[in-house]
Amino acid sequence: MKTRVQILGFVTAMAISGLVAGCGSSSGPVASSGDVIKLGAYSVVREAFHDALIPAFQQHWKQKTGREVSFEESYNASGAQARAIASGFDADVAILSHSGDMNQLVQANRVAKDWDQNATHGIVTHSVVVIGHRDGNPKGIKDWSDLAKPGVGVLYPDPKTSGGARWNINAIYGSALLASKAASGGSPDLAAVGDLLKRVQANVVNMDASGRQSMASFSERGIGDAVVTYENEILLRKKEAKPIEYVVPEATLLIESPAAVVDSSVEKHKNREVATAFLAFLTSSEGQKLLADYGFRPVDPASPALAEFPKPAKLFTMADLGGWDEVQTAVYGPKGLWTSIFSDQGK
Amino acid sequence: MARVETKRGGGDTGLPDLALRGMTLGYLGWMVVLPIVALGYQALAAGPQAFLDAVLDPQAIHALKLTVVTALVMVVINVVMGTATAWVLVRYEFPGKRVMNALIDLPFAVPTVVTGLMLVLLYGPSSVLGTILGQYGFSVIYAQPGIVLALLFVSYPFAIRSVQPVLLELDRAEEEAAATMGASGWLTFWRVTLPTLVPAIITGAGLSFGRALGEFGSVILVAGNQPMKTKTTPLYVFGEIESGNKQGAMAVSLVLLALSLGVLIFLNLYQRRWSPEDGH
Amino acid sequence: MAINQALTGEPNGFNRMSASKWGSLPIGRWLLMTVVIGWFAVLILVPTVALARQAFAAGLAPLGRAMASDEFLRAFGMTIGITLVAVVVNTIFGVCFALVLVRQRFWCKTLADGLVDLPFAISPVVTGLMLVVLYGPDGWIGRYLEAGGFKVVYALPGMILATLFVTLPFVVRGVVPVLQEFGVDQVEAAYILGAGRWVTFWRVTLPSIRWGLAYSVLLLIARSLGEFGAVMVVSGNLLGHTQTATLYVHDGIEGFRPEGAYAASLLLAAVSFFMLIGMGTLRKRVKTSKQT
């Protein structure tokens, strides 16, 4: 009898200690006067934040206020992260791939409507969409239309789960749209644009759940001939001594990634001060310099660091394409150019 | 499921018995019934039209078809190989048999995400095997064969472990009689042994099929996730959850749930008909 | 259920006579053996070896470093903690419900019996979705819990619930047949001799089912260690907080240092493998205990 009770007690004790071990705070010391920030970010910024920005901010905060701040970090595909925060994940700061995902949070009453009313319009990083390819560029990939060539294996992530995928596809869509508009003097040939998207999609080998997974598939597992990705992802690989050659197409899309304080969470956690400070840190000169180390272009157009990045001939933005909502409907909506690729295949 | 015969112990049902019954049924109802009811209700709450729209979406239909077809293909292969494997394990002797027999259960124990990783490492485009197969134009990973491969791995033990015990307990009298009458080994198997194995084979097939319908962790790394090509139903549901299309996710989940339940009910009924005696 | 039948298959008990006398032509037999063993090797063995090779490709040092990292330890701590909860709760439920099923008779018994098998049949993604629907901020139960500040989804309780759901049937299904074989004679004898219910349970019933129980608990642990789909949907994949070992593997594959993912995969597979060996021994004990 006694041994059974002992065993039961032991098991319960182990269960509790296991849970406690698994539940411990993740990074940074938690002093009695410690602040905590819960970060909900997209997967691509993981290294930049985990290795550089967070430790730098912790130091900055200690110097400024004498308090320690610890971080609980979650990195996920942008769409997944946005959905998680909208459905109740109580991140204090949301760092997402694009404003469309941020708007989701506004609509779910997590983020205030005026999140983009600041000097940088809520944007903390810039990058451009580029195409990574194999060494020596055996398939001769120089522009978006080359992705549609037969025999080219293309990688980009699934727009359903990845914000990054939307940047990629929007870049292809946008360049074709603007070129078509310029050629025809105003009214673009949507059928041709749709056709390009379709032919590129036909070459896609695998649609991973996030941009990071696509990069891993391309470089670690040797899949595909071309990966459509962010410039900063490529530069990060160079930094990690696993370089990938890439080409910046003539006309490409400026990637503007936002960050915002999640009001519903900071109200609950009572850490608005430190969360806002963190956000400000990201666009400060120190923060931007750290981000540049990880391949992100500075947000300030006057910044001298910008000169080190290649300048594409035609850089367009989402605003040039009509904004996120317009593109959402035109490309990913029920009758959208990209969605139609699959309904046409309907068996 | 064998029909559970009641063996009454100690008097009529007293209070402690009722308490036990109440608590366990309560737990069961809370943990299993309630979530299913909640899903069903929410899925249909927006009205039958919304439900049908979600289910009849071409991508959903394709995903459902793909799941069923790959599951069926896998079941056929699994049943044949499973019966053969059970036969070899029971009737033959060879070095390493005990090890192999223990390892049959490996897929039960390996997490599905690890399965996916193993298959990508082995058959992925950058591996030796993958490159060789690729040269023959045969792609495994990120194509439908990859899905079947992952399903074969995770369901491998089902077919074997269903047939094995039956083979072990088999009365050899009829086989011996057939042999003495001059029947060849193959004929004896086909006409005498196999018919007695059919219930076990069907059970194994049912279990494999049910497992394959819902398989997620291994398929997500291996399938390619291409809509209308390699997106199975669980992958489709996952994509819809992640992109905020809860209605679509719930509706298709309900269909998948109904399919799985159908398999379960079929297995239960079938077992009742074919094994009226308890004990197996 | 059929699972039980499938699971109590025996490793030996083979008739020595049969190999030589009743097998088909030697060439046919060799062919069959080659095909079967070849299939086993290609499907099961080779991928496992490939994983091990890849894991050790960079040497032991990176593996060791990965296994000592915070994230790795927390992920495994989380998995172990959740597994222990699942073991305790579902074992208690399993034994109690097995007793109810075998020894009591009531109007919805057949239905309840069938319901227990449901978690076997449901896709993990659907499980996760059901829990989000029920316990999320808009869910029937979730809305009250969230108002009270208790988070289920994107937090530990949700992950525990998901694991409890998928491991629910194991102990019931393992214990019921053993309990049935055991019968009630000894229990009744104990009652006649004046022993109370509790004493009878501890001294008579429990020892009789111990091998079946142990076997199903091992299966439960293996299943819980490997749970992925449901937990992925329900948790926020919060680094170091709601990340289980399997989520850690999935996460690590896409990172720059996949050694952690490989190490975790190897560890999970190895633990399961050793439990398999244990299961093999227990299977024999279940069989012999059924025969006594």
H/E stretch holding A31: none
Cβ within 8 Å, pair B243-A79: yes
Please indicate, yes or no, whether residues C71 and C26 belong to a single structural domain of this protein. Answer: no
Please indicate, yes or no, whether residues A196 and A186 belong to a single structural domain of this protein. Answer: yes
pLDDT at A248: 92
Please indicate, yes or no, whether residues C34 and C64 belong to a single structural domain of this protein. Answer: no
Please indicate, yes or no, whether residues C41 and C27 belong to a single structural domain of this protein. Answer: yes
Cβ within 8 Å, pair A222-B227: no
pLDDT at C211: 83
Please indicate, yes or no, whether residues C136 and C30 belong to a single structural domain of this protein. Answer: no
Which CATH number is A63's domain given?
3.40.190.10
pLDDT at A29: 39
Please indicate, yes or no, whether residues A211 and A138 belong to a single structural domain of this protein. Answer: yes
Cβ within 8 Å, pair B142-A86: no
Q: At a CB cut-off of 8 Å and minimum separation 6, what does B34 contact?
A: C134
Min Cα separation A332/chain B (Å): 12
pLDDT grade for B12, boundaries at 50, 70 and 90? low
pLDDT at C86: 95
B46-273 topology per CATH: MetI-like fold (1.10.3720)
Cβ within 8 Å, pair B6-C104: yes
Please indicate, yes or no, whether residues C271 and C196 belong to a single structural domain of this protein. Answer: yes
* C151 domain residue, yes or no: yes
- Cβ of residue C79 closer than 8 Å to a chain A Cβ: yes
- Cβ of residue B37 closer than 8 Å to a chain C Cβ: no
| Percent of all residues in chain B with a pLDDT value above 90, rounded to a whole number | 34
pLDDT tens, residue order, chain A (347 aa): 445 555 555 555 555 555 554 444 333 334 445 889 999 998 888 889 999 999 999 999 999 999 899 998 888 778 778 877 887 788 999 999 888 889 889 998 899 998 988 888 899 999 999 999 999 999 999 999 999 999 899 999 888 777 778 899 999 999 999 888 888 887 888 888 989 999 999 899 888 877 777 888 888 777 889 999 999 989 988 888 788 899 999 999 999 999 999 999 899 889 999 999 999 999 998 999 999 989 999 998 888 778 888 888 889 999 888 888 888 888 888 788 888 888 766 43
All residues of chain A having their beta carbon less than 8 Å from the beta carbon of residue B55 are: none
Q: What is the pLDDT of residues C114-163, one digit of tens each?
A: 889 889 889 999 999 999 899 987 888 988 887 777 888 878 899 999 99
* C9 domain residue, yes or no: no
Please indicate, yes or no, whether residues C85 and C137 belong to a single structural domain of this protein. Answer: yes
pLDDT at A346: 47
pLDDT at C20: 43
In whole angstroms, give the CA distance from residue A60 to residue A58.
Answer: 5
Please indicate, yes or no, whether residues A155 and A243 belong to a single structural domain of this protein. Answer: yes
pLDDT at A173: 92
* C127 domain residue, yes or no: yes
DSSP A67-113: --EEEEEEEE-HHHHHHHHHTT---SEEE-S-HHHHHHHHHTTSS-T
Q: C28: domain range?
A: 21-57
In whole angstroms, give the CA distance from residue A282 to residue A291.
Answer: 8
Which CATH number is C92's domain given?
1.10.3720.10
Please indicate, yes or no, whether residues A120 and A132 belong to a single structural domain of this protein. Answer: no
Please indicate, yes or no, whether residues A240 and A337 belong to a single structural domain of this protein. Answer: yes
In whole angstroms, give the CA distance from residue A189 to residue A179.
Answer: 10
- Cβ of residue C263 closer than 8 Å to a chain B Cβ: no
* C11 domain residue, yes or no: no
**DSSP reduced 3-state for A284:** coil
Best to test chain B binding among A154, A160, A345 (most B CBs inside 10 Å)? A160
Q: A264: domain range?
A: 31-125+257-293
Cβ within 8 Å, pair C269-B28: no
Residue B137 has pLDDT above 80, yes or no: no
* C238 domain residue, yes or no: yes
In whole angstroms, give the CA distance from residue B74 to residue C32.
Answer: 20
pLDDT at B2: 46
Please indicate, yes or no, whether residues C107 and C89 belong to a single structural domain of this protein. Answer: yes
* A13 domain residue, yes or no: no
Please indicate, yes or no, whether residues A281 and A160 belong to a single structural domain of this protein. Answer: no
All residues of chain C having their beta carbon less than 8 Å from the beta carbon of residue A215 are: 254
Please indicate, yes or no, whether residues A115 and A212 belong to a single structural domain of this protein. Answer: no
Residue C244 has pLDDT above 50, yes or no: yes
* A302 domain residue, yes or no: no
* A2 domain residue, yes or no: no
Burial class (CB in 10 A: 0-12, 13-18, 19+), C29: middle
pLDDT grade for C269, boundaries at 50, 70 and 90? confident
* A90 domain residue, yes or no: yes
By CA distance, what is C133's nearest residue in A?
Answer: A87
pLDDT at B183: 78
Q: Give how far Cα B188 sits from Cα of B164, B193, C22, Å.
A: 18, 7, 9
- Cβ of residue A319 closer than 8 Å to a chain C Cβ: no
Q: What is the pLDDT of residues C59-87, one digit of tens each?
A: 888 888 888 888 888 889 999 999 999 99
User: Domain tally for chain A?
Assistant: 2
- Cβ of residue A275 closer than 8 Å to a chain B Cβ: no
- Other beta carbons less than 10 A from residue B278's beta carbon: 13
pLDDT at C14: 37
User: Domain tally for chain C?
Assistant: 2
Please indicate, yes or no, whether residues A177 and A136 belong to a single structural domain of this protein. Answer: yes
pLDDT at A216: 81
Cβ within 8 Å, pair C6-B35: no
pLDDT at C40: 92
| Percent of all residues in chain C with a pLDDT value above 70, rounded to a whole number | 85
* C276 domain residue, yes or no: yes
H/E stretch holding C253: helix C245-253
Residue B97 has pLDDT above 70, yes or no: yes
Min Cα separation A255/chain B (Å): 20
Q: B143 near B120, Cβ under 8 Å?
A: no
Residue A33 has φ and ψ, to the nearest 5°, of -100, 25
All residues of chain C having their beta carbon less than 8 Å from the beta carbon of residue B31 are: 161, 164-165, 168
In whole angstroms, give the CA distance from residue A286 to residue A130.
Answer: 26
Residue B244 has pLDDT above 80, yes or no: no
Residue A302 has φ and ψ, to the nearest 5°, of -90, 0
Burial class (CB in 10 A: 0-12, 13-18, 19+), C226: buried
pLDDT at A11: 54
* Partners of chain B (3+ Cβ pairs below 8 A): A, C
Q: What is the pLDDT of residues C10-40, one digit of tens each?
A: 333 334 344 444 444 577 788 889 999 999 9
Min Cα separation C237/chain A (Å): 6
> Which of C32, C57, C82 is at the close of a domain?
C57
All residues of chain A having their beta carbon less than 8 Å from the beta carbon of residue B239 are: 158, 160-161
Residue C6 has pLDDT above 50, yes or no: no
Please indicate, yes or no, whether residues C38 and C178 belong to a single structural domain of this protein. Answer: no
- Cβ of residue B238 closer than 8 Å to a chain C Cβ: yes
**B62, B124, B241 member nearest A221 (Cβ):** B124
* C224 domain residue, yes or no: yes
Please indicate, yes or no, whether residues C37 and C170 belong to a single structural domain of this protein. Answer: no
pLDDT at C198: 82
* Partners of chain A (3+ Cβ pairs below 8 A): B, C
Of A24-28, B225-229, C249-253, which range is least confident?
Answer: A24-28
Cβ within 8 Å, pair C228-B111: yes
* A340 domain residue, yes or no: yes
pLDDT at A24: 42
Closest CA to C90 of C1, C164, C191, C30: C164
The first and second tokens of residue C79, run together, are: 């998995």
pLDDT at C290: 59
Cβ within 8 Å, pair C51-B114: yes
In whole angstroms, give the CA distance from residue B23 to residue C60.
Answer: 50
Query: Distance from CA of residue C209 to its chain's centroid?
Result: 18
Q: Which residue has the higher pLDDT, A290 or C108?
A: A290
**C3, C45, C124 member nearest B216 (Cβ):** C124
pLDDT at A33: 58
Q: Which residue has the higher pLDDT, B278 or A269?
A: A269
Cβ within 8 Å, pair B1-C2: yes
DSSP B173-219: HHHHHHHHTT--HHHHIIIIIHHHHHHHHHHHHHHHHHHHHH--HHH
* A26 domain residue, yes or no: no
- Cβ of residue C291 closer than 8 Å to a chain B Cβ: no
Cβ within 8 Å, pair B124-A345: no
Which residue's structure tokens are 């366990």? B24
Which residue's structure tokens are 């995400």? B113
SS3 content of chain C, % helix, strand, coil (to 5): 80, 0, 20
Residue C233 has pLDDT above 90, yes or no: no
Please indicate, yes or no, whether residues C197 and C123 belong to a single structural domain of this protein. Answer: yes
Please indicate, yes or no, whether residues A66 and A104 belong to a single structural domain of this protein. Answer: yes
ipTM of the complex, rounded to two decimals: 0.84
- Partnered with residue A206 across adjacent β-strands are A155
Please indicate, yes or no, whether residues C206 and C239 belong to a single structural domain of this protein. Answer: yes
Residue C263 has pLDDT above 50, yes or no: yes
- Cβ of residue B103 closer than 8 Å to a chain C Cβ: yes
Q: Which residue has the higher pLDDT, C30 or C256?
A: C30
- Cβ of residue B38 closer than 8 Å to a chain C Cβ: yes
**DSSP reduced 3-state for A155:** strand
> Which of C57, C81, C105 is at the close of a domain?
C57
* A141 domain residue, yes or no: yes
* A23 domain residue, yes or no: no
**B189, B207, B263 member nearest C6 (Cβ):** B207
Please indicate, yes or no, whether residues C183 and C76 belong to a single structural domain of this protein. Answer: yes
**Domain boundaries, given as residue ranges, for chain B:** 46-273
pLDDT at B98: 83
* C13 domain residue, yes or no: no
**A18, A74, A213 member nearest C81 (Cβ):** A18
pLDDT at A30: 40
CB pairs under 8 A between A and C: 111
